[in-house]
């Protein structure tokens, strides 16, 4: 065997301490990221039922069979835990409501598709307590801070999404001209009311949502 081959074989069988340390560090980071995701997703379900203020590191540790110190290490503070829950809720909402309609043409068709996905989102709840935003926005609307800002950003993004599809429908002549910001506000208000109604057992609430949205999507004559 040549000296080069021997050297290659030797290198293949021996890891430098630096490479070993890096591999261990990467595995720890991966486990940490998975644990954060699992904890944040459970926090969303708790917060959808009891509000973000109902979250506590001790509660989540008990629910998930984890140590309080482990959760404390991952999140540090209750506020960071709340922010992680908001982020996770946003990701899950996007996966459930927004992503599935990406192939639908912009305008009235996509807006209707978004509404149908939203209806599924509350009828077969993604979150244990129904709409996460409906449960938490009213609790933080008068509490300045990072959590309120994070909740508000998601709400504004949702309104902008509705408004964008309305604007496209107007621009392409699908529907009559209307006050986009006002209509987006009204649709959002109806969805918020419908979420509460569905949780209270009003089985006709979703049909009322469809009727309201259809009323705004009147074809241009």
Encode pLDDT of 106-165 as tens digits.
999 999 999 999 999 998 888 888 889 999 999 999 999 999 999 999 999 999 999 999
Helix, strand, coil share (%) of the chain residues, nearest 5: 75, 0, 20
pTM of the model: 0.82
Per-residue pLDDT of the chain in tens (221 residues, 90 and over written 9): 555 545 444 444 455 555 555 554 566 666 767 888 999 999 999 999 999 998 999 999 999 999 999 999 999 999 999 999 999 999 999 999 999 999 999 999 999 999 999 999 998 888 888 889 999 999 999 999 999 999 999 999 999 999 999 999 999 999 999 999 999 999 999 999 999 999 899 989 999 999 999 999 988 76
**Rounded Cα distance, 194 and 70, in Å:** 39
Tokens of 119: 């209806």
Instruction: Please tell me the distance from the alpha carbon of residue 27 to that of residue 9, in angstroms, as a whole number.
Output: 26
- Cα distances from 139 to residues 70, 94, 105, 136, 185, in angstroms, run 28, 22, 36, 5, 19
141: exposed, middle or buried (C-beta count within 10 Å: 0-12, 13-18, 19+)?
exposed
């Amino acid at each position: 065997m040549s000296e080069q081959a021997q050297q290659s074989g030797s290198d293949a069988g021996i890891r430098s301490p630096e490479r070993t340390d890096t591999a261990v560090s990467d595995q720890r980071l991966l486990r940490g990221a998975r644990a954060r995701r699992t904890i944040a997703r459970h926090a969303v379900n708790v917060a959808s039922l009891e509000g973000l203020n109902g979250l506590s590191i001790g509660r989540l540790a008990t629910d998930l069979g984890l140590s309080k110190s482990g959760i404390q290490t991952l999140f540090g503070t209750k506020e960071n835990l709340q922010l992680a829950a908001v982020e996770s809720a946003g990701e899950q909402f996007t996966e459930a409501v927004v992503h599935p309609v990406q192939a639908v043409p912009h305008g009235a068709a996509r807006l209707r598709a978004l509404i149908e996905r939203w209806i599924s989102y509350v009828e077969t709840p993604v979150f244990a307590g129904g709409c996460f935003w409906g449960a938490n926005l009213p609790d933080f609307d008068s509490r300045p801070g990072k959590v309120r800002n994070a909740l508000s950003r998601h709400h504004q993004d949702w309104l902008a999404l509705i408004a964008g599809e309305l604007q496209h429908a107007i621009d392409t002549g699908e529907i009559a001209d209307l006050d986009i910001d006002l209509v987006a506000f009204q649709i959002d208000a109806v969805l918020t009311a419908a979420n509460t109604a569905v949780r209270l057992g009003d089985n006709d609430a979703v049909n009322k949502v469809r009727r309201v949205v259809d009323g705004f999507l009147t074809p241009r004559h």
